[in-house]
Structure 1
Amino acid sequence: MRRLLTLEKVWTAAPEEELLKKFAPCALDPLPGPVQRFLKHAIAPGTALASAVRLQMHGEIKLKRWFSFSAEEVIHWNKAMIWKAAIRMHGIPVLGSDYFLNGKGGMQWKLFGLLPFLNVSSPDVTRSAADRVNIESLWLPSVLCREEVNWTATDQNHIHARFFAHNEVAQIDYQIDATGRLKNVSMPRWGNPGQEGFEALPFGAIVEEERSFGGYVLPSVVRVGWFIGTDRFEREGEFFRATIDQATFC
C-alpha cells in the first residue's frame, strides 16, 4: 500500500457539506453548561467546523524502552485515519504507519523503510483502531458538536460523550477545569497491551499543555496509555508521549 499517497488522498478528499458551517456558540444552548464550556474553549466563534485535521508531531514511544519518533497524522472523520511515523530503534530507522482505512485497521512497519518488520490486520486490531480514532476526536473537536453526540455532565468538571462512529460505540469521559480546558480524557478501548488476549481496558491521555491552531485550541502535549486513572498507568500503561507541532484543518 502506498502510504504517502493514501495519506494525501485522505487529506485532499472533499469536505462534507454539513461541515462547511461556522461554529456558533448559541447552537450549544441545549447542552449542559460544562459541555458548553468545554466546546467554547476548544473552538472560536466563526471557525469553520472541519471534517479533517492534519497533525505534525514528535515525541517518544515505548517499545520495551522509549524511542524518539516524528510523525504525521491525518484524521478524516467519516473516511479514515493514518498515522505515518519514523522511529529510530537502536540506531535503525523504522518507518511505517498505523491506519484505519475502509473500515479496517492495521499496522505496517519496515526496517529502513524496506524490510518488513510488522504487518498486522485483524478484526481485533480493527476494533482497537476504531476506538483510537474515536478518542482522537480531541484533536478534531468540531465533530463533537454533531447532533449524534449525546452529552451529559456528572458535575462542573466531568463530562461524558456517547456516540456511534467507525462501527463502534464510543463512551468518552473528559475532565475539564473552570475555563473548559481539557485535563484528561479516557474511554474503554479494545486492546491487548499485555499480550494475554483482547479486551476493553481503560485508555486515555493526560493533557499537559494546549495550543491554538487556526481557531481551535487543541491538546498539544499529551501522555497516552492504558490503565489511565490507576497506578498501572505510570508503572506499565503509558507508552506514548507527543508534542503537536502543527495542525491544519479542512
Structure 2
Amino acid sequence: MSLVIAPAALTDQATGDWAHFQQETPEPEPFDPAAADRLPEPARRWVRHAIRPGAPLRRSVVFHTHGMIKLGSWRSFDAHQALTPFDGYVWAARTGLIRGFDRYRAGEGEMRWRLLGLFPVMSQRGRDVSRSAAGRLAGEFVMAPASALDPRIVWKPVDDRRVVAVVPGGNDVTLTIAGSGRLEAVSLQRWGNPDGGAPRYLTFAAAMLDEVTFDGYTIPAEVRGSWDGDEFIWYVIDEAIFR
C-alpha cells in the first residue's frame, strides 16, 4: 500500500511524524466479531457495527476532509490528517490564504500556521498545547475502530447507550451509541482556552452525523465539534485510508 504524500505545509519534524503515523499495521489479523465479546454491550454493539467481519484490523488511518471552522468568523477549510490512536496525529489544513498544521507525538503538541506559507500567524508549543492535543487524540480513537480492541483501554458501562473508555494517557472518553450500533457522539473533559481565557478543562464534544464505509470500516461521515456547547468546527470525511 503506497504512502499518502505529506502536505506541503509541514516542517521536517511534522513530515517525519506524518510518515510514522501512516506506517502499515504489521500482519493485521482479520476481525472476528467474537473479539468484541469482552466489551460492555454498547461498545460491543458499536465495534461489530463498525468493522466488517474479516476486515484486517488496521490501527492507523489517513483522512481527507473539508468543512467549516470558527476562527472569529466561520471559514471553510480543506484538511488531511494522519492518525494513530494512542500514539499521535498530524492535521494539516488550508483556509483561505492560511495554511499549517497541528501535531502531537510522544507527549508534545505543536500548532504552526502561516499566511501564504511564509508569514507566521500562530506558532505554539508547551504544556497547555500538549495537554489539549492529548485530549484531542484521546477522543479521536473512534475514527480507527480497530483501536477499540486495544487491551490497554479500560471500559466502564454507563447505561444501554453510553460507555466510558479510559484510554492510554488516562482520559475518560464517553461514547454514545445507538441501538443499531451507530456511533452518535463522543465527549470528554479537554484542556483548552477557546475563548482566549485561562486554559482549563472544558467539555469537548463531537456529534457524529450519518455514516460512511471505507475498507470495511464504518465511521462517521460528518462530525460537529464543540467546546462547552459552543460549536467551532464541522467537517465531512471525503476519504479514509486504513493502514
TM-score (norm 1): 0.88
Deviation of 1:204 (Å): 1.3
Following TM superposition, by how much is the alpha carbon of 1:16 offset from its aligned partner in structure 2, in angstroms? 4.7
**After superposition, where does 1:102-181 map in structure 2 within 5 Å?**
102-164=106-168, 168-181=169-182
| Superposition CA RMSD, Å | 1.6
Residues 153 and 160, structure 1, Cα contact 8 Å, conserved in 2 = yes
Question: Aligned partner of 2:139: which letter?
Answer: I
The separation in 1 between residues aligned to 2:26 and 2:131, in whole angstroms, is: 25
C-alpha contact 1:10 1:79 (8 A) present in aligned 2: no
Query: Per the alignment, in what secondary structure is the counterpart of residue 203 of structure 1?
Result: strand
CA contact (8 A) 1:184 1:206 kept: yes
The structure-2 alpha-carbon separation of the partners of 1:177 and 1:196, relative to structure 1 and needing over 3 Å to count, comes to same
What is the CA distance between 1:217 and its match in structure 2? 0.5
1:195–1:8: structure 2 CA closer, same or farther, 3 Å change rule?
closer
Alpha-carbon shift at residue 9 of structure 1 (Å): 1.6
Q: Work out whether 1:98 is the aligned partner of 2:138.
A: no
The residue number in structure 2 matching 1:222 is: 223
Structure 1 residues 3 and 69, CA gap change in structure 2 (3 angstroms): farther
Per-residue CA shift, 1:77-120, capped at 9, x if unaligned? 354310000011xxxx1010011033210100010111111100
- CA offsets, 1:42-101, max 9 Å, x none? 11111111121000000000001100000000002354310000011xxxx101001103
| Secondary structure at the counterpart of residue 155 of structure 1 | coil
Matched with 1:5 is 15
Q: 1:239 matched to which residue of 2?
A: 232
CA deviation after TM superposition for structure 1 residue 11, in Å: 4.2
1:98 to 1:4, Cα distance in 2 relative to 1, 3 A? closer
Shift, 1:147, TM fit: 1.1
State the Cα distance separating 1:7 from its structure 2 match: 5.3
Residues in 2 aligned to 1:27 and 1:4: alpha-carbon distance in whole angstroms: 35
Q: How many residues are aligned here?
A: 233
**CA pair 78-33 structure 1, distance change in 2 beyond 3 A:** closer
Question: Aligned with 2:211: secondary structure?
Answer: strand
Deviations 1:6-33 (A, max 9, x none): 354224435356xx22211112222222
Cα distance, 1:3–1:65 mapped onto 2, change above 3 Å: farther
Q: CA offset at residue 135 of structure 1?
A: 0.4
Unaligned runs of 5+ in 1: 228-232
Distance 1:78 1:156, change over 3 A: closer
Q: 1:133 corresponds to which letter in structure 2?
A: L
Q: 1:211 to 1:108 in 2, by over 3 A?
A: same
Alpha-carbon distance in structure 2 between the residues aligned to 1:219 and 1:24? 22
Match of 2:33 among 17, 25, 33: 25
1:35, 1:152 within 8 Å by CA — same for their partners in 2? no
2:170 aligned counterpart, secondary structure:
strand
**1 CA distance for matches of 2:141 and 2:57?**
13
Using the alignment, how far apart are the partners of 1:170 and 1:2 within structure 2? Answer: 30
- Tell me the equivalent position of 1:15: 25
